[in-house]
Amino acid sequence: MKQIKVLGSGCRNCEITANAIAKAAEQAGVEIDLVKVTDIAEIMSYGVMSTPGVVIDGTVVHSGGVPGPERIRAWMQASD
């Protein structure tokens, strides 16, 4: 199971990102643990200065703006 964190204040782009990740995981049949992180200190601990940020299994894979559908699908296909 992949642990995916969406880092951000809960803004519209953060919600869009979280929803797109959940949808892509469902379509790919990938089990994920999706967590929304809104704590500024925790977000900063990942070195993310621009949100939304995406962390998969402890690694920052995206920050700033909504990731495109192709990129999100690629995250679901990456091996655990």
Tokens representing 31 are 């089990």
The answer to whether residue 60 is catalytic is no
The answer to whether residue 5 is catalytic is no
The helix/strand/coil state of 40 is helix
| 2-7, strands of its sheet edge to edge | 32-37, 2-7, 53-56, 59-63
Among candidate residues 6, 7, 14, 48, the one labeled active-site is 14
Tokens representing 61 are 């894979």
Among candidate residues 3, 9, 10, 11, the one labeled active-site is 11
Catalytic sites, residue numbers: 11, 14
